[in-house]
Amino acid sequence: MRVLVVAAPLIGHVFPMVPLARALREAGHEVLFATAGDGLRVTGFEVRDVAPGFRFAPVAAWTMLRHPLLIRHELAGTARPRVVGHLFGAINDRMLDRFERTARQWRPDRIVYEPLAAAGAVVAARLGVPGILQETSLFDGPALLAATRMRGRPQMAAPAAVIRIAPASVARRGTHLPMRFVPYAGDRRLPDWLAEPPRRPRILVSRSTVPAPGPDRMMSRVAAAAEHVDADIVLIRPNVRRLPPHVRATDEAPIPAALAAGAAIVHHGGAGTTLSALQAGAPQLIVRGAGDRRHNAELVAARGAGLAVDERDITPTLLTRLVTDPVVASAAVEVSAEIAAMPPPEHLVEAIRQAG
């Protein structure tokens, strides 16, 4: 079986597709990735660039200029999936022609696509190939796919199967074809000092790889509070110039490995970081923000596995609670066990073979 995997041209959309792609390849199937931009950083697979020269920021700016009334809602994190539908519609418009040519040349038996790679559903319809929708976040995948506004509204094939990675107790909806979330962060290694088990509580602080509208003061607020928190704080890809005592920084660190070494985390609410913390059973403090960040923050807080705050509300008291609250720690461990009980990616290979 030949499986064509397509993801929007952002690393946070490509990396969640890797564990299932690996399972397919290890089962003897051929796998080809189609993406663009920094998504091309995926390694270990043949990858086709279907939007050469793609850069996210200009497309995002163009979309916002065309839809100015949505900007206020996007900044508040209340516009999803409307803004996302227009933004990723424009992105998929840029991907579609080359992706279709790639598919016609490669002749896949299945197309696996994530919710914001609607070009996968379009080409599945045009080629008459079963398409499998693999969710990559806590958001409802079919809803995101339906919201995507591509030019000319091309026909999209209904998915032959929907794979859901969100634990039901967090997403508050049932699972379709459940699949365990397996963290993947590329081939990066932890610095030796960060791989060592901490001697006292450790708090990671991570910001998005995709710039959000407006200033980002999350790290500076955590650093300012650090003096009054009995914990070691580690900033990943810092945007803070002066580091106070008890605060260290590293340019790159794979979040899953850092969490496995023992840590809580403060972050921007992106799906990959949120799910990685849930999988690790790590308490998390999510700063509400644009796009799906507020959605993710409030789902995690409602489950009790973390805290959700606005950026301005980060305080020493809140950071101390993050590493001392037994209720949050217990709920985080419960969700981790729930994820561990979900079928691993290799158990989905046969379902993909039979889809359609």
SS3 (DSSP) at 127: helix
**Which segments of the chain are extended strands (E)?**
2-6, 30-35, 46-49, 110-113, 131-134, 161-164, 177-178, 202-206, 232-236, 247-250, 264-267, 284-287, 306-309
Superfamily of domain 192-340: Glycogen Phosphorylase B; (3.40.50.2000)
Q: For residue 22, what pLDDT band results from cuts at 50, 70 and 90?
A: very high
Other CB atoms within 10 Å distance of the CB of residue 294? 20
For the chain, which residues make up each domain, given as ranges? 2-164, 192-340
Common-topology check for domains 2-164 and 192-340? yes
pLDDT tens, residue by residue, 154-181: 999 999 999 999 999 999 877 689 999 9
Top-tier CATH class for 2-164: alpha beta
Per-residue b or e along 159-175, where b marks 16 or more CB atoms closer than 10 Å to that residue's CB: bbbbbbbbbebbbeeeb
SS3 (DSSP) at 229: coil
Q: What is the pTM of this model?
A: 0.91
Q: For residue 189, what pLDDT band results from cuts at 50, 70 and 90?
A: confident
- pLDDT of 212 reads 58
Q: For residue 73, what pLDDT band results from cuts at 50, 70 and 90?
A: low
Q: How buried is residue 43: exposed, middle or buried, by Cβ count under 10 Å (0-12/13-18/19+)?
A: exposed
pLDDT tens, residue by residue, 139-149: 999 999 999 98
